[in-house]
Amino acid sequence: MQQLENRVAVVYGAAGGIGAAIARLFHAEGATVALVDLTEAALAGTLAECRGPAPVSIHAADVSDPVAVERVTDEIAEGHDGIDIVVNSAGILDETPVLEMSPEVWDRTVAVDLTGAFLTARYAVPHLIARGGGRIINVGSQLGIKGGTGLAHYVSAKAGVIGLGKALALELAPHGILVNTIAPGPIETPLIGGLSEEWKADKRAELPIGRFGSPEEVAPTALLLAASPSGDLYTGQTLGPNSGDVMP
């Protein structure tokens, strides 16, 4: 028996490193998977890697755009006859010292990394309630717990994602909806490609496990939270596949 048989999962940011790994694992575990990213073309690779028999669909939406997120959510619910699981792994990151950070740079990061988590959950909730419950999983960051230099916008947004997860967990528990945050440490994906070598070397030296993780080492945490009975007692939690960087 596969762990997500008869479940419909939406994965935002499914073209990226962590989102793609989660989508592949969920699909291999029997879930019908709706892949969402900025363009459908970006999802071709992930689509080709989902080789099992369960249905897969691709959709374009910017998670910071309420109209697009509502449209794509309704399109997915209609196409797959409901939604059980929402994973939001869409995100952006750039390193900007606070003295050089324009309000526009701040706003864009908060819009994608925090408001995106709100919108993807917000428009899915009616569909999860219609199913009698479900799971919402946001990919935050351990930097939202410990902070980081040159990352005031990103750290603030990711701390907000953790708070959002707790608030939604309390509010949605009566509907059988469990809401959790994954807060990874540094993971080898294009997202951190733009960070300086100096930042990466300093970061590696801080890690008890001594190396960055891979997306395939994060995806099983999402499966744990999405599946039953493994995820049945988790809500409002922040789980940290983070090489030991943060020990709450």
What is the smallest separation between the CB atom of 112 and ligand NAD, expressed in angstroms? 4
Element (H, E) at 216: helix 215-226
Per-residue tokens: 108? 């864009």
Binding mask 93-132 toward ligand NAD (x if CB under 6 A, else -) reads x------------------x--------------------
Indicate whether 148 belongs to the interface with ligand NAD (CB under 6 A): no
Annotation marks residue 234 as catalytic: no
Q: Name the residue with the smallest CB distance to ligand NAD.
A: 16
Backbone torsion region of residue 147, taken as left when φ is above 0, otherwise alpha when ψ lies between -120 and 50, otherwise beta:
left
Indicate whether 240 belongs to the interface with ligand NAD (CB under 6 A): no
Query: Cβ closer to ligand NAD: 29 or 62?
Result: 62
Q: How many residues bind ligand NAD (CB under 6 A)?
A: 28
| Cis status of the peptide bond prior to 66, with omega within 30 of 0 | no
Q: Which stretch binds ligand NAD (CB under 6 A): 35-43, 70-78, 121-129, 233-241?
A: 35-43
Q: Nearest 5°: phi and psi at 95?
A: -95, 115
Indicate whether 191 belongs to the interface with ligand NAD (CB under 6 A): yes
Indicate whether 15 belongs to the interface with ligand NAD (CB under 6 A): yes
Distance, C-alpha 43 to centroid of its chain: 16
CB atoms within 10 A of CB 183: 28
Q: What is the per-residue DSSP string for 109-137?
A: HHIIIIIHHHHHHHHHHHHHHHTT-EEEE
Among 57, 89, 235, 243, binds ligand NAD (CB under 6 A): 89
Residues with a known catalytic role = 154
Using CB under 6 A, list all residues that contact ligand NAD: 12-13, 15-19, 37-38, 42, 62-64, 89-93, 112, 139, 141, 184, 186-187, 189-192
